[in-house]
Structure 1
Amino acid sequence: MEEAYWKYLEHMDSESFRQLMVTYGQDVWNLAFLMTKRHHLADDITQDVFLRAYKAIGTFRGASSIRTWLLSITRNISINYLRTAFVRKVMLTERLSVRETSPSAEKVVLAHALSDEIWEAVLRLPLKLREVLVLHVKYEMTTKEIADALRISEGTVKSRLARARRKMSISWKESAAYE
């Protein structure tokens, strides 16, 4: 569906809702996962994002793209999930109760893949740096779109991008030194 379609929609029918989820569902889930680092939280957040979008489509006026609007909702819901005491307790419990087991053959192969190493380094970045880097690189958003989605200035986006790139470069050099 064209971008202008969403701007004038007051209520969403089932076909529009399905199309919205098919078109942007993976982007929403990926961002939720990259922010929370948990599959089950990404699932819950994605569901919450689309429910909120369904209910609030009448408030979308096209100041940004529908994708930027959805990713902004995703970011806000993800941050709210991370702030809750329950999630903090569950994450702490998971960290304390992890058993040392030998990785499966599949995990060993994946661990050596270049893209996995890059994503592992990205996930180690602080949230503020990780989110701007992911929005810029993976979602190909401009600094203005990122600034709109995160409700920060373009200058802040640029400085966070520069810091994220610098940290990634250092991380990459350090991992290369160990090989």
Structure 2
Amino acid sequence: MKEMQPQLSAELNISDIRGLMESYGEDVWNYAYVITKNAHTADDVAQDVFIKAYQHAASFRGEASMKTWLLKITRNTALSYLKRAFFRRVVLLGERSPEDGLGRMTRDSSSPSAEEEYMEREMADELWKQVIKLPGKYRDPLVLSVHYQLSMEEISVITGLAPGTVKSRIFRAKKKIAAEWKGAKDDE
């Protein structure tokens, strides 16, 4: 998807927000889901992100890309949701099907045989399940790096961590995933 870099002014109109939602809505929702692990909460977070973007358009200084700015708002909003007391009392974790957001992160558009497609989807689903199980401090930088292909500096801006810490956490996350993956394969 082409990176849209509109010049935001203090007064956004509805078509500006609609354009942001069309360009970045899926990225915002997927990242919110990765953090909250709940589709309904991800829906709420994504909606709040675009409301906040509308309300705080004047604070966008263009120092980072629009995508980085929106993902930072997403992270902060999702973490706020997680901190709320009602969320801690009710655990609403469910399995996600490949068609509903998580699957969109890994699916490609080629058309292999049905068996190959099934096996690839199963492997991708298992891998994403391992990623989702990581502690947030490792999961967030890994997803921002691998899925969103952001630079260490952009991830640093979003997470508020030093670039060296980001790099270290991504390395550790990959190491943990590899160990889990190897352990799962050894059990078969």
Q: What amino acid sits opposite 1:129 in the alignment? A: Y
Equivalent residue runs for 1:92-131 within 5 Å: 94=92, 113-131=122-140
Tell me how far apart the structure 2 counterparts of residues 130 and 42 of structure 1 sit (CA, whole Å).
16
Give the one of 155, 163, 168 matched to 1:154. Answer: 163
2:180 counterpart residue number: 171
Equivalent residue runs for 1:1-179 within 5 Å: 2-3=4-5, 5-6=6-7, 8-91=8-91, 94=92, 113-179=122-188
Please list the CA deviations of residues 143-175 of structure 1 after superposition, one character each: whole Å capped at 9, or x if unmatched.
000001111100110110111011011011011
Which has more helix, going by share of residues?
1
Task: Kindly indicate whether the alpha-carbon contact (under 8 Å) linking 1:110 and 1:116 is maintained by their aligned counterparts in 2.
Answer: no
Q: What amino acid sits opposite 1:89 in the alignment? A: R
Task: Kindly indicate whether the alpha-carbon contact (under 8 Å) linking 2:4 and 2:66 is maintained by their aligned counterparts in 1.
Answer: no
TM-score normalised by L of structure 2: 0.82
Ranges in structure 1 where 5+ consecutive residues have no aligned partner: 99-108
- Percent identical among aligned pairs is 41
Please list the CA deviations of residues 68-118 of structure 1 after superposition, one character each: whole Å capped at 9, or x if unmatched.
000000000111111111000011xx57xx9xxxxxxxxxx7997111011
* Structure 1 pair 112–17 and aligned structure 2 pair: CA distance change class (3 A): closer
Aligned residues: 165
Tell me how far apart the structure 2 counterparts of residues 11 and 135 of structure 1 sit (CA, whole Å).
29
Tell me how far apart the structure 2 counterparts of residues 111 and 41 of structure 1 sit (CA, whole Å).
28
